[in-house]
Amino acid sequence: MLEKIESILKEASEWSAKSAQDVENFRLAFLSKKGKLNQLFDEFKQVPNEKKREFGQELNKLKTKIEEKFSTLQEQGNESGGHSADRPDIFLPEVPDGLGALHPLTLTRRRISEIFARMGFNSEDGPEMETDWYNFTALNFPENHPAREMQDTFFIAKGKEQKDDTLLRTHTSNVQIRLMEHQKPPLRSIMIGRVYRNEAISARAHCQFHQAEGLYVDKNVSFRDLKDTLLHFAKEMFGKDTKIRLRPSYFPFTEPSAEIDISCFICKGEGCNICKKTGWVEIGGAGMVDPFVLQSSGIDPEEYTGYAFGMGIERIAMLKYDINDIRLFFDNDVRFLSQFKGA
Ligand code: PHE
């Protein structure tokens, strides 16, 4: 047995490897299941007890030496051009780099918060799953009021009274109420988040989208402040020459109310497909906070006034990046998303 050990040791130590295959052959010959080392260990079982100690020691030494030799061969292989984690094979096809891009909605959200932050608006957040009270009733949409028809949504649970229903919010205006309940004016916040509506999905409408809500409540806040703020935002977002137009409209929680249009910066007001030849595109709604809403949130309408606005983030992103189908935002198609790498 000792002779065998010696001859295997000799064979192993004389082994030299010129390629990765030689290293592998070494492993197969000595270290694999059917390799020489294992055969010796099998034979060792037959060795008489009084010899076990001596042979055992030799056998273990052999094992260590073979393992050492194997690591040396492996290292040599790496140095002479083998491949490893820190020495990649330059002939392999390129691994695509994992760098992603921010989603166009994220880019737009960030830009909006940035512009308003510079005008002193802090960012606030509210729940997407909301009660009927915060989404409708407190905003002056009484039960069965036709204005509710404009914003059908997904109901999650039915409350005992209508006002306790749980639903997916249809707009970010719910956060207005939540803020006014807990904070005293002056109050100047921007609230960005996801909203839901029970709408048929098409290139122009989706059952989920995002809004940016603004609220400013203080003494002597006027419609003129609202107009100035929106104009400044439009110029920052779409370019210096952008104009705004406020069209009379109706929302139960603002009085007076208006739709916000911006001049079409694609055709510069001349009329194109984006603005449907009108020269104007709508980006949201706005108005002076209705005294009823201030009062039901615990703010004295005799002392304070305020304005609010809500804008569609998808709409803004579609205009800014020339995207013609709202569904692209939610498909997660890399061919679409990777176009925003440089944005
Ligand atoms: N919440 C309204 C909507 O989604 C927009 C709006 C917000 C209008 C704030 C006025 C004031 O249609």
Which atom of ligand 1 sits closest to the CA of residue 214?
9
Considering only CA atoms, which residue is closest to atom 12 of ligand 1?
Answer: 285
Rounded to two decimals, the pTM is 0.73
Which atom of ligand 1 sits closest to the CA of residue 310?
7
What is the Cα gyration radius of the chain? 36
How far is it, in rounded angstroms, from Cα 287 to Cα 275? 23
Distance 18 CA to ligand 1 centre (A): 75
The alpha-helical segments, DSSP class H, found in 35-172 are 36-44, 49-79, 104-117, 132-135
Question: CA-CA-CA-CA torsion for 190, 193, 199, 202, nearest 10 degrees?
Answer: 100
Residues with CB under 6 A from ligand 1: 171, 173, 213, 251, 254, 285-287, 308-310
Beta bridge partners of 260: 246, 284
Lookup: tokens for 4: 């065998």
Amino acid at 71: S
**What's the confidence (pLDDT) of residue 184?**
92
Pocket test of ligand 1: the residue of 141, 171, 210 to mutate, having most ligand atoms within 8 Å of its CB, is 171
Distance 315 CA to ligand 1 centre (A): 14
**What's the confidence (pLDDT) of residue 15?**
85
DSSP code of residue 91: T
pLDDT along the chain (343 residues), means of 10: 88 84 90 91 89 90 92 78 63 75 96 98 97 94 87 87 84 97 96 96 95 98 98 97 97 97 87 87 97 94 98 96 94 93 79
Distance 228 CA to ligand 1 centre (A): 18
Whether residue 319 contacts residue 283, with contact meaning beta carbons closer than 8 Å, is answered with: yes
Amino acid at 302: E
**Dihedral sign, Cα of residue 299, residue 213, residue 169, residue 261:** positive
Distance 245 CA to ligand 1 centre (A): 16
**What's the confidence (pLDDT) of residue 127?**
97
